[in-house]
Amino acid sequence: MIIIPAIDLIEGKVVRLEQGDYKKVKVYSDYPADIAKQWRDKGAKLLHVVDLDGARTGELKNLKSAEKIVREAGIKIELGGGIRDSNSMKRVFDAGISIAVLGTSVLKDREFATSSLKEYSGYKIVFGIDTKGKDVLVEGWFESSGFDVNDLIKDFALMGLKRIIYTDITRDGMMSGPNLKGIKNILSLAELEVIASGGVSDIDDVKRLKELEKDGLIGAIIGKALYEGKIKLDEAIKEAK
């Protein structure tokens, strides 16, 4: 299982939100590339970068910051937030980003989602599923999509998707522990690789997630717990191996 540090961006700054609430923002750094180097030096092989401005507006807003992370830190990143069409997708890959994470666009433009999977084979495309209960949220977690997560996962598997990022937004930024029941449910629905996000608070949470590796969990995204010093990245990586 891989441990993936999160770097959330607002106006080029590294931030964390609580349950996706843009009114509850804490800024950790003005220099995302420096944070990326820090995680790289502690053993990270992949970073989860989210353009929160892009997720809210539907347009890429922090692509230059993401590109700078790749260029200066020399580490692979997956980028989500504001990738809504083929043009924005091309800009992302031209910037050196390794993986595009699609969220809102997957639900609002199924044709784009399908064509993206066909054009970019393998693991360059990941779908991000952000849930509150069974409800899947979109537009930076401001709107309900009207879709049930169970139905979506089965549909995505039929589309040829290989990997999803599953986030329980009620746990995100709260350090209250991951939603193990929800993760197990997602793993049971289809033969997809799953990366879990939201709620990881200490090394015991990493151990609990590691136990789900046999069921298809391949990774865990950790954010606030790293920034608050509740988890040491090198220890989490060692535990997850």
**pLDDT over 90 for what percent of the chain?**
70
Residues 6+ apart with CB under 8 A from 133: none
Residue 171: what pLDDT?
73
Residue 124: what pLDDT?
95
Candidate list 8, 51, 53, 205, residue with the active-site label: 8
Candidate list 51, 53, 130, 172, residue with the active-site label: 130
Residue 152: what pLDDT?
85
Q: Tell me: the pLDDT tens digits for 132-189? A: 776 787 765 566 767 788 888 888 888 889 999 999 887 766 677 899 999 999 999 8
**What's the rounded mean pLDDT across residues 229-233?**
96
Does 221 have pLDDT greater than 90?
yes
Catalytic site includes residue 109 = no
* DSSP notation for 100-147: EEE-HHHHH-HHHHHHHHHHS-TTSEEEEEEEETTEEEETTTTEEEEE
Residue 68: what pLDDT?
98
3-state secondary structure of 70: helix
Catalytic site includes residue 172 = no
**pLDDT over 70 for what percent of the chain?**
95
Distance, CA of 102 to CA of 160 (rounded, Å): 15
- CATH number for 189: 3.20.20.70
Residue 22: what pLDDT?
85
Which two structure tokens, joined as six digits, stand for 149? Answer: 């997560």
The domain tally of the chain equals 1
> How high is the mean pLDDT of the chain?
91
Q: Which domain holds residue 202?
A: 2-240
Residue 174: what pLDDT?
62
**What's the rounded mean pLDDT across residues 104-118?**
88
Q: Tell me: the pLDDT tens digits for 27-71? A: 999 999 999 999 999 999 999 999 999 999 999 999 999 999 999
Distance, CA of 139 to CA of 146 (rounded, Å): 13
